[in-house]
Amino acid sequence: MIAHTTTPFITIVSGATASGKSSFAVKLAQKTNAEIVNLDSVQIYKDFEIGAAKLSPEEMQAVPHHLIGVLQPQERCNVALYTQMAAKVIETITDKNKKVLFAGGSNMYITCLLQGLDELPDTDLALRAQLELMSKHELYERLQQVDSVTAALLSPNDRVRVIRALEATLISNRPASELRREHAFSKPHYYACILVLCWKRELLYKRIEQRTRLMLDSGLVEETKNLILRYGKKLPALRSLGYAQAAEYLDGRKNLQELSDSISMLTRRFAKRQMTFWRNEPQKRAWKTRPAGRDEFLQLDYSEKDNRKKSTKGFKVLTWDLQRVLSELALLEERGCSQTEVWYLDAEKIF
Answer whether residue 25 shows pLDDT above 60: yes
Mean pLDDT of 69-88: 91
Helix (H, G, I), strand (E, B) or coil at 205: helix
Q: How many CB atoms neighbour CB 273 within 10 A? A: 13
Burial of 270 (0-12, 13-18, 19+ CB in 10 A): middle
Angstrom distance (rounded) from CA 334 to CA 34: 17
pLDDT of residue 274: 93
Answer whether residue 189 shows pLDDT above 70: yes
pLDDT of residue 201: 93
Answer whether residue 3 shows pLDDT above 50: no
Query: Which contacts qualify for 329-332: CB closer than 8 Å, 24 or more apart?
Result: 329/11, 329/32, 329/193, 332/193
Beta pairing partners, 163: none
Please state the length of the chain: 351
Per-residue pLDDT reduced to its tens digit, 108-126: 899 889 987 665 666 677 7
What DSSP designation does 239 have? Answer: G
Is the Cβ–Cβ distance between 47 and 113 less than 8 Å? no
**Sign of the torsion formed by the C-alpha atoms of 231, 234, 237 and 243:** positive
Q: Which of 325, 330, 323 is nearest to 343 (CA)?
A: 325
Is the Cβ–Cβ distance between 101 and 11 less than 8 Å? yes
pLDDT of residue 297: 79
Query: Would you place residue 161 in the very low, low, confident or very high pLDDT band (cuts 50, 70, 90)?
Result: confident
Answer whether residue 271 shows pLDDT above 50: yes
Is the Cβ–Cβ distance between 102 and 37 less than 8 Å? yes
Query: Would you place residue 76 in the very low, low, confident or very high pLDDT band (cuts 50, 70, 90)?
Result: confident
Q: What is the model's pTM?
A: 0.82
Backbone phi and psi for residue 117, each to the nearest 5 degrees, phi listed first: -70, 145
Q: Of the ranges 156-160, 164-168, 236-240, 310-314, which is most confident?
A: 236-240
Please tell me the least confidently modeled range out of 94-98, 159-163, 185-189, 345-349: 185-189
Mean pLDDT of 156-167: 86
Instruction: List Cα–Cα distances, 302 to 176, 238, 274, 278, 291, in angstroms.
Output: 30, 28, 11, 12, 17
pLDDT of residue 293: 75
Q: Which of 306, 89, 327, 73 is nearest to 190 (CA)?
A: 89
Q: ω before 291 within 30° of 0 (cis)?
A: yes
Mean pLDDT for the chain?
89
Burial of 126 (0-12, 13-18, 19+ CB in 10 A): exposed
Helix (H, G, I), strand (E, B) or coil at 185: coil
Q: Of the ranges 25-29, 80-84, 273-277, which is most confident?
A: 25-29
Answer whether residue 350 shows pLDDT above 60: yes
Angstrom distance (rounded) from CA 348 to CA 351: 5
Between these two residues, 272 and 295, which has the higher pLDDT value?
Answer: 272
Backbone phi and psi for residue 256, each to the nearest 5 degrees, phi listed first: -65, -40
Is the Cβ–Cβ distance between 189 and 111 less than 8 Å? no
Answer whether residue 4 shows pLDDT above 60: no
Answer whether residue 128 shows pLDDT above 50: yes
Angstrom distance (rounded) from CA 228 to CA 238: 8
Between these two residues, 154 and 99, which has the higher pLDDT value?
Answer: 99
pLDDT of residue 303: 53
Mean pLDDT of 229-239: 93
